[in-house]
Chain A
């Protein structure tokens, strides 16, 4: 292959990614009410936890909470947990079900039979989902800064973006596995729900992981969200630097690598299998 051909190939692949991003953003903007809903309504889901905290503590700080979480301020703790958890929801139900959505729209057969590497289509889907999630998370963050007094300094923005990027990579590895499952089994909805339950219970979204029994802590420590939450809270609430979080970052990178490799392997395997068995067009 000449250098020119290689460059042309890269350009074509990037064009596939770009087209997929544009298509998904167009879909999102075609339903402005849905867009506004996801930007605002997730806040309503953690308000009960804030009210519960105020009712049983009688203030905005809890010493018992500080003993385990390292910070007595439970409201920013819950708010940050919920905002980062919205990335989990988007990856499970957005990216994880994106393949199923193509089947609903009747375009899955065309996409899978196109002469391009399907990985680029998936990267396009992942990028557009990440973009949408970040817009939603930012709007929630702005509302929380105004109403719940969360402090964000300029210095922690870049490290936070870095941690969130690592989280997104891990979650998309997981979403790839779901996409692979929906290729073969058509409906991966129950699997996505079960994973959501695992994240809901075992990751430190609303309470520190140390408050769980040992076996549950082990499950929680296998999830990328756990390390991302510990790192982001350490940056934003405990005011630690990125260097103090190297252990969490290394583990997050290792989990991401494992999830992405397994995700791509499963997706390619399932794609081949469905093509051979001729069940792609089966609804």
Chain B
């Protein structure tokens, strides 16, 4: 029998990055970027599906606008004016609906990033790489945010051309800052849902349930004031309600915020809380599925 050659069979030593160092952070950022690139490549391999998804924010916004226009027989609502200081339903609904696709980013794209790898049959391979499991989730978040941005841009162009929008240009910057803070909190929410996917596997019912509840608690097409008091209070736990109130304050002339308080501080606190809570639950779920050996279970 031939004796194996020690030189050729010697395993190459790999030093796994551990600890909080600049090199490790760069490596994690690279992993996030590569996950994002991978998702774009998969998505662009199906151009018809990609084009359809770009139009979907517009398709889902139009019924809200047409319904509103039919109800008041024009674009001005006396009752909305009494409630929030602006009667222009098109601008009001449009500024609210902008965030809808991004709720989907948190719930569906991030929440199902782990499950998707399982569908592809690559979850175990990714799990044994020396990167953080969260890089996968954040990579998906990055891709989905970019994807939603394209859809939202298309939505803005069409609605602006067809209806015209009365927005304050000077309010764009603070509105974008509020939007960014909201996205951080939504990322935390997305991490939480992805951890549910690790345990429940087919967690779409939980995701759909949370998505529907978040949709009702977010003042997208109506002000918070029309919700029952309990629902109004519950909405302050999620980032979408304070973000929409804040964005409208900066973007719409004459808009009277339904809630009083510092939106920036509120969103900062929510972002920190949701991200920490999401990561904590994700770690617990990660340890749980590996201990039980249920990672590969479909």
Q: Assess whether A194 is in contact with B63, with CB atoms less than 8 Å apart.
A: no
B132 at the interface (CB under 8 A from A): no
Question: Considering the chains assembled together, what is the distance between the CA atoms of A52 and B227 in angstroms?
Answer: 10
Question: Considering the chains assembled together, what is the distance between the CA atoms of A55 and B49 in angstroms?
Answer: 36
Known: A48-B220, A56-B79, A200-B63. A62 touches B71 (CB 8 A): yes
CB distance from A178 to the nearest CB of B (A): 15
Q: A48 to chain B: which residues have CB within 8 Å?
A: 64, 215-216, 220-222
A215 at the interface (CB under 8 A from B): no
B19 at the interface (CB under 8 A from A): no
Partner of A58, one of B63, B82, B220: B82
CB distance from A53 to the nearest CB of B (A): 6
Residues of chain A from 1 to 46 with CB closer than 8 A to chain B in the complex:
33-34, 37, 41, 44-45
CB distance from B106 to the nearest CB of A (A): 17
Nearest 4 CB-CB pairings of A with B = A64-B73, A58-B79, A55-B222, A44-B212
Residue of A nearest to B231 (CB): A51
Q: Assess whether A64 is in contact with B68, with CB atoms less than 8 Å apart.
A: no
Extra contacts, 20 of them, besides A63-B73, A201-B59 (Cβ < 8 A), are A37-B208, A44-B213, A48-B220, A52-B64, A52-B93, A52-B222, A55-B226, A56-B68, A56-B71, A56-B80, A57-B72, A65-B71, A190-B49, A197-B55, A200-B59, A201-B62, A206-B67, A207-B70, A211-B66, A211-B70
Q: A189 to chain B: which residues have CB within 8 Å?
A: 49
Known: A44-B212, A48-B221, A51-B226. A56 touches B72 (CB 8 A): yes
B77 at the interface (CB under 8 A from A): yes
A74 at the interface (CB under 8 A from B): yes
Known: A48-B222, A64-B72. A207 touches B82 (CB 8 A): no
Question: Considering the chains assembled together, what is the distance between the CA atoms of A194 and B56 in angstroms?
Answer: 9
CB distance from A67 to the nearest CB of B (A): 7
A218 at the interface (CB under 8 A from B): no
CB distance from B135 to the nearest CB of A (A): 28
A274 at the interface (CB under 8 A from B): no
A112 at the interface (CB under 8 A from B): no
Residues of chain B from 50 to 94 with CB closer than 8 A to chain A in the complex:
52, 55-56, 59-60, 62-64, 66-74, 77-80, 82-83, 89, 93
B205 at the interface (CB under 8 A from A): yes
A264 at the interface (CB under 8 A from B): no
Q: Assess whether B221 is in contact with A74, with CB atoms less than 8 Å apart.
A: no
Report the tally of A-B residue pairs with Cβ distances under 8 A.
Answer: 108
CB distance from A76 to the nearest CB of B (A): 14
A193 at the interface (CB under 8 A from B): yes
19 intermolecular pairs with C-beta atoms under 8 Å apart = A33-B205, A41-B208, A44-B216, A48-B64, A48-B215, A49-B221, A53-B67, A56-B71, A56-B72, A65-B70, A189-B49, A194-B52, A197-B52, A197-B55, A200-B63, A206-B63, A206-B67, A207-B70, A211-B66
Q: A53 to chain B: which residues have CB within 8 Å?
A: 67, 71
Q: B46 to chain A: which residues have CB within 8 Å?
A: 190
Question: Considering the chains assembled together, what is the distance between the CA atoms of A201 and B158 in angstroms?
Answer: 15
Question: Considering the chains assembled together, what is the distance between the CA atoms of A207 and B63 in angstroms?
Answer: 8
Q: Assess whether A55 is in contact with B79, with CB atoms less than 8 Å apart.
A: yes
B48 at the interface (CB under 8 A from A): yes
Q: A197 to chain B: which residues have CB within 8 Å?
A: 52, 55-56, 59
CB distance from B53 to the nearest CB of A (A): 9
Partner of B67, one of A33, A49, A54, A67: A49
Q: Assess whether A55 is in contact with B80, with CB atoms less than 8 Å apart.
A: yes
Q: B70 to chain A: which residues have CB within 8 Å?
A: 64-65, 68-69, 207-208, 211
Q: Assess whether A193 is in contact with B52, with CB atoms less than 8 Å apart.
A: yes
Question: Considering the chains assembled together, what is the distance between the CA atoms of A45 and B60 in angstroms?
Answer: 12
Q: A34 to chain B: which residues have CB within 8 Å?
A: 205
Number of B interface residues in the complex (CB < 8 A):
42
Q: Assess whether A54 is in contact with B226, with CB atoms less than 8 Å apart.
A: yes
B257 at the interface (CB under 8 A from A): no
Q: B72 to chain A: which residues have CB within 8 Å?
A: 56-57, 62, 64
Q: B56 to chain A: which residues have CB within 8 Å?
A: 193, 197
A47 at the interface (CB under 8 A from B): yes
Partner of A190, one of B48, B213, B220: B48
A212 at the interface (CB under 8 A from B): yes
B278 at the interface (CB under 8 A from A): no
Most chain B CB within a 10 A radius of its CB, from A52, A54, A56, A194:
A56
B223 at the interface (CB under 8 A from A): yes
B4 at the interface (CB under 8 A from A): no
Q: A37 to chain B: which residues have CB within 8 Å?
A: 205, 208-209
Residues of chain B from 19 to 62 with CB closer than 8 A to chain A in the complex:
46, 48-49, 52, 55-56, 59-60, 62
Q: Assess whether B79 is in contact with A57, with CB atoms less than 8 Å apart.
A: yes
Q: B64 to chain A: which residues have CB within 8 Å?
A: 48-49, 52
Residue of B nearest to A197 (CB): B59
The proximity string for A residues 200-220 relative to B, scoring 1 for CB distances below 8 Å and 0 otherwise, is 110001111001100000000
Known: A57-B79, A65-B71, A211-B70. A41 touches B209 (CB 8 A): yes
Q: B74 to chain A: which residues have CB within 8 Å?
A: 64
Q: B48 to chain A: which residues have CB within 8 Å?
A: 190
Q: Assess whether A212 is in contact with B66, with CB atoms less than 8 Å apart.
A: yes
Q: B52 to chain A: which residues have CB within 8 Å?
A: 190, 193-194, 197
